[in-house]
Amino acid sequence: MKKHSLGKSGLEVSALGLGCMGMSFSYGPPKDRKEMIALIRTAVERGITFFDTAEVYGPFTNEELVGEALAPLRDRVVIATKFGFDTSVDPRAMKGSGPVLNSRPEHIREVAEASLKRLRTDVIDLFYQHRVDPEVPIEEVAGAVRELIREGKVKHFGLSEAGIGTVRRAHAVQPVACVQNEYSLWFRRPEEGLLQTLEELGIGLVPYSPLGKGFLTGKIDASATFDSTDFRSTLPRFTTEALQANQALVELLGRIAAEKHATPAQIALAWLLAQKPWIVPIPGTTKLERMNENIGALSVELTPGDLALIEEAAARITVHGNRYPDRLEALTGR
C-alpha cells in the first residue's frame, strides 16, 4: 500500500487508516471481540498501518481491543488515541446535556498512562486532544503533551475538531502532526480556511467519517432505521427527511462509480485522497468485505476532469440536516 506523510511531522502511515470506534461503540452493540481482532490483524496484512481509537470509545474497551489485536504486530503499525473527556463524569459521552471535558495537564498524564497499559505499548504514536476544552488554555495542553513526548511516552501531538486559531496557538508550543476533523463530500467545512492553514504550517489532515457515517456508501436510504444504541439515531442528518433529501449526493457518486467500475464508497474516498497528498482518511468498518472495498479506492484514479465534474455537480446539491445535535456541534471549531 502507498504511504503518506502527515504534513512535515515525519509521521508516515498507510494512505488509508482504519477507524476502530464502531467495533466497540456508537454504531450499535459492540461487535464480537475475536472477529474484530481478526479484522484488525487482516488490515495489517492488507497494508494498513494506521489505527485510530480513543479512551472514550466504550469507554476503554476499544483501546483494549486495539491493544490486544496489535500487540504481536506493534513494530509494523501506528496507533492513535485521544484524551480530553472526563469519563468518570459522563462515561458514554453522549448522554444528558453532553460530554464533560477535561484537558487539565494532570488529567492528560493520567489518560496517557492508562492508555499505554490498555494499548499494551510503551509509547503512543499519536495523541490527540479529542475536543478543545475552553477551560484549559491550549498552550497548557500542548505543553503537557510536549512533556510526554520528552519522556518518550508519546511520539506526536494531534488535535481533533479544533479551530484555526487554536491550531496555530498549539503548534507554536508543540508542533502538531495532524488535525482530525470530519471531512467528506457531504461535510466540507475544512475547506473554509482549515486546509489552507494546515498546508501553511505543514500539518496533516486525518478525515474521520469520510463516508458520511455510512451514508455515502449508497447502502442507506430514507427507509433506514437505527437502533437506539446507534448514535446516528440522534443525528439531524439521519432523519428520514434529511436522508431522502440527501440522496442526490449518493446518486452523483453512483453515476461516477458506474463509469469507473467502482463503488460509491470508493469514489468518495478517491475524491478525498485527490485533494491533498497529506490527507489520510480513516474509514471505519466491522466487515472484511467493506474494508477490502475501501482499500480498493486507492486504485481508483480521478482525473482533473473527473474532479471538476464532481465539483460542478456537488455545487448544485444542498446537503440537508446538521451533522450533530447542537450540544455536540458546540464542541467543534473552538
Provide the mean pLDDT of the chain. 96
CA atoms within 13 A on the CB side of 65: 31
Residue with cell 496484512: 45
Angle between the N-to-C axes of helices 138-150 and 105-118, in degrees from 0 to 180, rounded to the nearest 10: 40
Domains and CATH numbers, the chain: 3-329 (3.20.20.100)
Query: E strands within 1-69?
Result: 3-5, 12-14, 18-19, 50-52
CA atoms within 13 A on the CB side of 73: 22
Amino acid identity of 95? K
- Dihedral of the alpha carbons of 137, 142, 145, 149, in degrees to the nearest 10: -160
Taking only the tens place, the pLDDT of each residue in 96-123 is: 557 899 999 999 999 999 999 999 999 9
**pLDDT the model gives residue 265:** 98
Main-chain phi, psi angles of 304, to 5 degrees: -55, -35
Q: Is 294 helix (H, G, I), strand (E, B) or coil?
A: helix
**pLDDT the model gives residue 88:** 85
Taking only the tens place, the pLDDT of each residue in 201-232 is: 999 999 999 999 999 999 999 999 999 999 99
Catalytic center residues? 57
CA distances from 169 to 45, 131, 141, 142 (A): 39, 15, 11, 9
Taking only the tens place, the pLDDT of each residue in 27-69 is: 999 999 999 999 999 999 999 999 999 999 999 999 999 999 9
The rounded percent of the chain whose pLDDT value lies above 90 is 96
* Partners of residue 7 on adjacent β-strands: 203
The rounded percent of the chain whose pLDDT value lies above 70 is 97
Distance between CA atoms of 217 and 298, rounded to whole angstroms?
Answer: 16
Q: How many residues does the chain have?
A: 334
**pLDDT the model gives residue 96:** 53
Taking only the tens place, the pLDDT of each residue in 229-284 is: 999 999 999 999 999 999 999 999 999 999 999 999 999 999 999 999 999 999 99
pLDDT(138) > 80: yes
Query: E strands within the chain?
Result: 3-5, 12-14, 18-19, 50-52, 78-83, 124-129, 154-160, 176-182, 204-208
pLDDT grade for 93, boundaries at 50, 70 and 90: very low
The two counts, helices (H) then strands (E), for the chain are 12, 9
Contact indicator for 160, 129 with CB cutoff of 8 Å: yes
Contact indicator for 141, 133 with CB cutoff of 8 Å: yes
pLDDT(95) > 80: no
**pLDDT the model gives residue 90:** 52
**pLDDT the model gives residue 99:** 84
**pLDDT the model gives residue 94:** 46
Find the largest Cα–Cα distance for the chain: 54
**pLDDT the model gives residue 97:** 58
